Structure 1
Amino acid sequence: MTETCLAAVVREYRAPMEIVEYPVPQPEPGALTVAVDVASVCGTDVHGRRGQYAGVLPIELPLVLGHEVVGRIAAIGDGADVSTSLAGTS
């Protein structure tokens, strides 16, 4: 698994998004890491960038945009239930 990826990031509300190199997290116990092939920026991301969810949803800055993704399981954390999914599955 690679150590970094590209991400669309907003550092301040209403600021332009930046494409930056971002660290790929290792899966926590019971979780999976997904290698993202495609991610879209949707209306929820636009509202988050504007700060319209501040105090309502637990959104913290810097904000990585693009929560609608297509990808493959890249890593499996200890104790993850993989009975219905395997590493490399699309």
Structure 2
Amino acid sequence: MKAEKPKHRPFCFSVKGHMKILRLDIINSLVTAIFMMIVSVLALLPKTTTFILLGGVFGLLTVVCCIADGVLIYRKLLFNPSGPYQKKAVHDKI
């Protein structure tokens, strides 16, 4: 008896599913960067205490990290659009 192959793969195990998740991660990074930029600038405006000033500076560092995360994921999608699970024939590797 031959085992039946499932007709569809779950979303999280498909290559297109991984690409959609990475695209959502880019959008999430950019939305987070915009939100943190607004919060950091608002924290830097009054300059009341040292801790508020440090919070604003760390918030701006968070913005830089979020933008870097989005750029790195975008480059990953740009240079490897088919995903890491692309199957190649043996003669293509040589």
TM-score, normalised to structure 2, is 0.25
Greater helix share, structure number: 2
TM-score, normalised to structure 1, is 0.25
Greater strand share, structure number: 1
Structure with bigger gyration radius: 2
